């Protein structure tokens, strides 16, 4: 076989992905096996793959592929999210580019455009995931607005409404004046921004030249003031409480009230209370029975209540209004000020707290079992540090505003039959709604034309929170959900712990009485080299598809996982993918080597090879033991590193070098056979991380007859007892090898030149490994001696002493310096050990085992020092 020296992923990846699909390896149906289920965090339907997806889905695929090989019925359910606000914003933008305004369209016309966009761009991201090798069950692909799913969302709404948990209410909400919709708290991003703090004085009614001064960052809301508030203990203003102040410009008389909410230190200690435009003021207003005057329209312009400013943008008004205050003598001073400003996650518009009538879901009772489940580890968080913030949020959970003033999404199934805000019914279908409305009104003549459905849609998360149930149509039928639910592992970003994870656990308990998954693995944020979050606007995110073209999907997968412990940010660097690609190439070449060996069945197995086989057998078992622990703890980076070192360092650098026959010679049958067994084990361990390359070379190692022989569905290697003593002995033998190589290196002795080794063996010297050592270091022979060897390079390991007789012209000074350095190290070591042993308290206080250990170290160090001193004397 003529195989190129370099691995070319483009020749294998598409081929094997198509092969796996054809074989149906990723498709799952319920059977007798233990299920292993993962539901994908559904990406936005019109999104494209970014580095965050790459990380997230690589992790999921590693877990799923490993489970599949372990004989579980692995089911990874893919799908997409309709992403109400994000998608609608994109559609609006596209229509605007075509010169169409959303307001010129009917709801149905707009939805037509949105569906068109969805069909055009939807699913691109799923195709991209296939390039990554994601082993999803594509037959199960769901969309949060496909027919069955839509129905599930509506049913959920109706059920909670029937239980009295969904209600309508006037609340202060986060209003996005650009998207013209309410947002949940989680969709608002707070950042520090520079602004100004305006000091404005209000005349106190009935007192000559008495003023009360407030500090505000939002002077444009002054016209909506309905009180001035001071702290009840504030001596400065005590006598003013109960009096009235006059709001400048609009000349409204408002009460001066007292409340301990006020921060004495902030500004002047006086607060203007504007219940219509500030969350806290609203609560103060409720508490003190203040009127609410709304001076800002939904689109962010000033309302009729703002008098001559009507129609002016709120930020323009913020500039103009203080000018009028100054003319009137009410503006005291203006300071520069930095404060937190909330902006819409989607449109970046400054959020306007706004009173509006919205739909809410009462959360307090619902969330209790979900809090409990995480705190008692029924649902385990990885890493567990996230339990803290989860608890904090769940203990302070607020009612969920689930309505959005958008068109793209699940329309709220409420129909109004009258003009009053309470004159509505909630139903699964129009027919049901009509029936209910007739019953409620007693008017049997009511028709659909008399009903008007609520214009709003539901928050996107109100559909994705039932994802682990409804991807199996679990709200409507039991067959599949009973088998696959609860799912096993969820892999997601901590940013959406509240949006999504917490709510899935809540809905899981509500609908199925148990949590939707057992483990939640939180990935970190992918950052660039400078530590910045990767984002489209910064343009610092590489295109994953380009990366996969350059380094291969396997290379990128390895790159993503190399430095990403759970919950830690991933400082991404192309270098990591390069490392992954190099690793792929290494495996490729190791395969080439093994593949190329001719076998001579008559040839006896060399002792060195037999040793190597026994050692590699034990070493790979030991690595599998480590891997199991690492996977159990979701320490995937460590698991990858364990596999990486096992394959590269131990299998390639030590094992293959140990068994390699001399150039041009065949290998003996026993060694070749054992090597193939070991190599297949390596491929299995590698497969979850590097599926394409491993599947390719898997098919070289032996004849594969059908789909069932694919590595993708091969059985995970079985654990068995292994020879730990041999592993320890080999570690010592490796040090001997290194010692001899060092002598060659330091003295410029070529590898071809045979050397003689003389050994003064101490206790536990691994004499049976000598053939192996000799093979790796090209020795002419090993001689055991009892006397010290003169005229030789030497090194000491434990109580064993090794010498290599000098050849011609060696550097005696360099050798002496080396011995001297070693001696100093040993003397320092001895001092530290003796420091402990001479400490009365250590000897009496520390456990016997520990003291014993120190005594042994002391003895070893003394022996080594004696040898080194002797050696030094020889050299002088």
CA–CA gap between residue 291 and residue 225 (Å, rounded): 9
Distance CA 626, CA 646 (A): 11
- Closer to RNA by CB, 249 or 594: give it: 594
Residue closer to RNA (CB basis): 128 or 729: 729
Using CB under 7 A as the binding rule, whether residue 678 contacts RNA is answered as no
- Residue 51: CB minimum distance to RNA, A: 15
Enter the tokens of residue 263. Answer: 């921060």
Decide: is 211 part of the binding site for RNA (CB under 7 A): no
Residue 579 binds to RNA (criterion: CB under 7 A)? yes
Nearer to RNA, 313 or 569 (CB): 569
Tokens of 127: 């195709």
Comparing CA positions, the residue from 695, 690, 611 lying closest to residue 648 is: 690
- Binding of RNA by 171 (CB under 7 A): no
Could you give the CA distance from residue 303 to residue 312 in angstroms, rounded to a whole number?
A: 8
Residue from 811, 809, 795 nearest 757 by CA:
795
In the complex with RNA, the residue whose CB is nearer, 641 or 782, is 641
Task: Tell me: does residue 622 bind RNA (CB under 7 A).
Answer: no
Interface residue with RNA, options 27, 96, 287, 385 (CB under 7 A): 385
Among 596, 781, 791, 807, binds RNA (CB under 7 A): 596
Residues 46-65 that bind RNA (CB under 7 A): none
Which positions from 496 through 515 interact with RNA, judged by CB under 7 A? 498
**The only residue of 97, 663, 705, 715 in contact with RNA, by rule CB under 7 A:** 663
SS3 357: strand
Nearer to RNA, 750 or 873 (CB): 750
> Which one of 105-113, 605-613, 657-665, 756-764 is the stretch in contact with RNA (CB under 7 A)?
657-665
DSSP track, 210-277: -EEEEEES-GGGGGG--EEEE-TT-TTTGGGTTSEEEETTTTEEEEEEE-TTS-TTSTTSEEEE-TTS
In the complex, the smallest distance separating the C-beta of residue 285 from RNA, rounded to whole angstroms, is 16
Q: Which of 565, 666, 798, 805 binds RNA (CB under 7 A)?
A: 565
Chain positions 793 to 832 lying near RNA, rule: CB under 7 A, are: 825-830, 832
Q: How far is the CB of 414 from RNA (least distance, A)?
A: 27
Nearer to RNA, 92 or 667 (CB): 667
Q: What is the CA radius of gyration of the chain?
A: 37
Least Å from the CB of residue 431 to RNA = 41
Q: Is residue 350 part of the contact set for RNA (CB under 7 A)?
A: no
Q: Name the residue among 52, 111, 49 with its Cα closest to residue 82.
A: 111
- 582 binds RNA per the rule CB under 7 A: yes
Stretch that binds RNA, among 13-21, 251-259, 295-303, 845-853 (CB under 7 A): 845-853
Identify whether the C-beta of residue 624 lies closer than 8 Å to the C-beta of residue 717.
Answer: yes
Distance of closest approach, residue 614 Cβ to RNA, in angstroms: 20
**Helix-helix angle 553-562:574-596, to 10 degrees:** 120
**Whether 327 contacts 321, CB under 8 Å:** no
The count of chain residues that interact with RNA, using the rule CB under 7 A, is 73
The answer to whether residue 845 forms part of the interface with RNA (CB under 7 A) is yes
Which 825-844 residues touch RNA, going by CB under 7 A? 825-830, 832-833, 836, 839, 841-842
Q: Which CB atom, from 303 or from 826, has the smaller least distance to RNA?
A: 826
Identify the burial level of 765 via C-beta atoms within 10 angstroms of its C-beta, where 0-12 means exposed, 13-18 middle and 19 or more buried: buried
**Residue in this structure with the two tokens 């008399």, named with its chain if needed:** 450
CB 833 within 8 A of CB 854: yes
Query: Scanning residues 330 to 349, which ones bind RNA (CB under 7 A)?
Result: 340
Pick the binder of RNA from 343, 857, 862, 863 (CB under 7 A): 857
**Closest CB to RNA among 337 and 842?**
842
β-pair partners for 600: 668
Please report whether residue 568 would count as binding RNA according to CB under 7 A.
yes
Q: Cβ contacts of residue 656 below 8 Å, gap of 6+? A: 590, 593, 594, 675
Near RNA in 744-773, by CB under 7 A = 745
Cα–Cα distance measured from residue 101 to residue 180, given in angstroms and rounded to the nearest whole number: 14
- Residue closer to RNA by CB (options 305, 638) is 638
Nearest 5°: phi and psi at 19? -60, -45
* 637 counts as binding RNA under rule CB under 7 A: yes
- Touching RNA, residues 184-203 (CB under 7 A): 185-186, 190
Q: What is the dihedral of CA 303, 309, 315, 318, to 10 degrees?
A: -120
Cβ nearer to RNA, comparing 76 with 651: 651
Interface pick for RNA out of 79, 177, 494, 688 (rule CB under 7 A): 494
Kindly give, in sequence order, each residue whose CB lies less than 8 Å from that of residue 641, ignoring residues fewer than 6 positions away.
Answer: 562
How are beta strands 570-571 and 599-600 bridged, if at all? Answer: unpaired
Rounded to whole angstroms, the Cα distance separating 310 from 113 reads 34
Q: Which is nearer to RNA, 109 or 345 (CB)?
A: 345
Smallest separation, CB 167 to RNA (Å): 21
What is the number of helices (H) and of strands (E) in the chain? 28, 31
Q: Segment contacting RNA (CB under 7 A): 201-209, 585-593, 680-688, 760-768?
A: 585-593
At residue 801, φ and ψ (nearest 5 deg) are -125, 130
Give the residue, chosen from 27, 645, 754, 768, that forms a contact with RNA under the rule CB under 7 A.
645
Closest CA to 521 of 688, 370, 381, 373: 381
Q: What are phi and psi of 526, to 5 degrees?
A: -80, 125
User: Are 58 and 132 a contacting pair, CB within 8 Å?
Assistant: yes
What DSSP element (H or E) covers 371?
Answer: helix 364-375
Q: Which of 264, 448, 482, 593 binds RNA (CB under 7 A)?
A: 593
Among 271, 656, 674, 769, binds RNA (CB under 7 A): 656
> Residue 812: which residues within 8 A CB-CB, separation 6 or more?
875
Tokens of 338: 């930095």
* Cβ proximity to RNA, 474 vs 691, nearer residue: 691
Indicate which single residue of 850, 852, 855, 859 sits in contact with RNA (rule: CB under 7 A): 850
**CB neighbour class for 2 (10 Å; exposed up to 12, middle 13-18, buried from 19):** exposed
Judged by beta carbon, residue 250 or residue 797, the one nearer RNA is 797
- Please report how close the Cβ of residue 798 comes to RNA at its closest, in angstroms: 12
Q: DSSP alpha helices (H): ranges in 748-847?
A: 770-777, 812-837, 840-845
Report d(CA 743, CA 720) in Å as an integer.
39
Residue 6 found at the interface with RNA (CB under 7 A): yes
C-alpha–C-alpha distance, residues 753 and 651, integer Å: 26
In the shown chain, the binding pattern of residues 525 to 564 toward RNA, with x for contact by CB under 7 A and - for none, equals ------x-x----------------------------xx-
Could you say which of 338, 653, 702, 780 contacts RNA (CB under 7 A)?
653
Among 119, 392, 476, 477, binds RNA (CB under 7 A): 392
Kindly give, in sequence order, each residue whose CB lies less than 8 Å from that of residue 365, ignoring residues fewer than 6 positions away.
165
| Candidate ranges 24-32, 164-172, 478-486, 568-576; the one touching RNA (CB under 7 A) | 568-576
State in angstroms the smallest separation of the CB of 615 from RNA. Answer: 15
Residues 93-122 that bind RNA (CB under 7 A): none
Instruction: Please select the residue that binds RNA; options are 287, 742, 783, 791, rule is CB under 7 A.
Output: 742
C-alpha–C-alpha distance, residues 759 and 154, integer Å:
82
Among the residue ranges 1-9, 130-138, 417-425, 601-609, the one whose residues contact RNA (CB under 7 A): 1-9
- CB of 740: closest distance to RNA in angstroms? 9
Residue from 657, 708, 731, 811 binding RNA (CB under 7 A): 657
């Amino acid at each position: 076989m003529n195989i190129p020296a370099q691995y070319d992923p483009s020749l294998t990846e598409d081929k094997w992905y198509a092969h796996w699909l054809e074989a149906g390896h990723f498709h799952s149906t319920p059977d007798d096996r233990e299920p292993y289920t993962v539901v994908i965090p559904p990406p936005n339907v019109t999104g494209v793959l970014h580095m965050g997806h790459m990380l997230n889905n690589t992790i999921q695929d590693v877990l799923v592929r490993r489970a599949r090989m372990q004989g579980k019925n692995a089911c990874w359910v893919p799908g997409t999210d309709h992403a109400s606000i994000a998608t609608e914003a994109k559609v609006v933008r596209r229509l605007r580019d075509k010169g169409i305004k959303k307001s010129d369209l009917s709801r149905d016309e707009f939805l037509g455009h949105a569906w068109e966009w969805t069909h055009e761009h939807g699913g691109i991201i799923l195709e991209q995931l296939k390039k990554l090798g994601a082993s999803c069950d594509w037959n199960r692909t769901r969309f949060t607005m496909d027919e069955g799913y839509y129905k599930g969302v509506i049913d959920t709404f109706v059920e909670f409404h029937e239980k009295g948990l969904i209600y309508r209410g006037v609340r202060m909400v986060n209003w996005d004046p650009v998207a013209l919709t309410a947002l949940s708290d989680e969709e608002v991003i707070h950042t520090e921004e520079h602004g100004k703090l305006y000091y404005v004085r209000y005349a106190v009614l009935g007192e000559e030249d008495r003023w009360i001064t407030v500090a505000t960052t939002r002077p444009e809301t002054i016209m909506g003031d309905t009180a001035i508030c001071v702290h009840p203990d504030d001596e400065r203003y005590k006598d003013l409480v109960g009096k009235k102040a006059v709001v400048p410009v609009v000349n409204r008389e408002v009460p001066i009230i007292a409340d301990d909410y006020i921060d004495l230190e902030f500004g002047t200690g006086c607060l203007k209370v504007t219940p219509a435009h500030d969350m806290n003021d609203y609560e103060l207003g409720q508490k003190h029975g203040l009127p609410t005057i709304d001076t800002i329209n939904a689109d962010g312009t000033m309302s009729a209540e703002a008098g001559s400013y009507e129609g002016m943008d709120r930020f323009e008004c913020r500039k103009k209004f203080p000018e009028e205050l100054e003319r009137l003598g009410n503006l005291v001073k203006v300071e520069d000020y930095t404060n937190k400003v909330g902006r819409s996650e989607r449109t970046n518009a400054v959020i306007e707290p706004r009173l509006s009538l919205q739909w809410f879901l009462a959360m307090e009772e619902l969330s209790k079992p979900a809090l409990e489940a995480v705190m008692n580890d029924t649902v385990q968080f990885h890493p567990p540090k996230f339990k803290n913030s989860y608890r904090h949020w769940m203990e302070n959970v607020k009612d969920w505003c689930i309505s959005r003033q958008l068109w793209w999404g699940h329309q709220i199934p409420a129909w109004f039959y009258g003009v009053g805000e309470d004159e509505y019914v909630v139903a699964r279908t129009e027919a049901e709604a009509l029936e209910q409305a007739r019953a409620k009104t007693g008017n049997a003549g009511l028709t659909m034309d008399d009903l008007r459905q609520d214009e709003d849609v539901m928050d996107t998360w109100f559909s994705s929170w039932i994802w682990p149930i409804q991807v199996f149509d679990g709200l409507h039928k039991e067959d599949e959900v009973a088998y696959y639910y609860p799912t096993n592992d969820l892999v997601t970003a901590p940013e959406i712990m509240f949006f999504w994870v917490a709510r899935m656990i809540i809905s899981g308990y509500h609908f199925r009485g148990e949590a939707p998954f057992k483990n939640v693995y939180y990935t970190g944020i992918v950052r660039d080299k400078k530590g910045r979050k990767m984002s489209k606007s910064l343009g610092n995110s590489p295109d994953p598809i380009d990366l996969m073209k350059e380094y291969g999907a396997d290379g990128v997968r390895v790159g993503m996982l190399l430095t990403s412990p759970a919950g830690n940010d991933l400082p991404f660097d192309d270098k990591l993918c390069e490392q992954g690609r190099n690793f792929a190439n290494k495996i490729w070449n190791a395969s080439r080597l093994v593949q190329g060996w001719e076998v001579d069945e008559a040839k006896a197995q060399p002792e060195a090879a037999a040793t190597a086989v026994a050692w590699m057998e034990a070493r790979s078992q030991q690595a599998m033991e480590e891997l199991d622990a690492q996977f159990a703890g979701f320490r995937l980076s460590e698991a990858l590193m364990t596999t990486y070192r096992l394959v590269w360092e131990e299998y390639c650098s030590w094992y293959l070098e140990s068994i390699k026959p001399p150039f041009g010679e065949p290998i003996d049958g026993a060694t070749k056979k054992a090597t193939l067994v070991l190599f297949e084990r390596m491929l299995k361990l590698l497969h979850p991380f590097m599926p394409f390359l491993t599947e390719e070379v898997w098919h070289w190692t032996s004849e594969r007859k059908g789909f069932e022989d694919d590595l993708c569905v091969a059985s995970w290697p079985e654990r068995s007892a292994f020879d730990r003593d041999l592993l320890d002995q080999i570690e010592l033998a490796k040090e001997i090898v290194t010692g001899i190589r060092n002598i060659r290196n330091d003295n410029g002795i070529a590898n071809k030149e045979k050397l003689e080794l003389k050994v003064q063996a101490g206790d536990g010297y691994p004499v049976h490994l000598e053939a192996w050592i000799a093979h790796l270091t090209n020795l002419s022979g090993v001689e055991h001696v009892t006397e010290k060897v003169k005229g030789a390079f030497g090194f000491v390991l434990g109580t064993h002493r090794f010498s290599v007789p000098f050849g011609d012209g060696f550097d005696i000074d360099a050798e002496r310096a080396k011995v001297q350095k070693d001696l100093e190290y040993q003397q320092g070591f001895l001092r530290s050990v003796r420091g402990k042993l001479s400490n009365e308290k250590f000897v009496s206080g520390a456990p016997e085992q520990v003291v014993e250990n120190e005594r042994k170290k002391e003895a070893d160090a003394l022996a080594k020092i004696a040898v080194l001193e002797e050696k030094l004397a020889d050299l002088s």
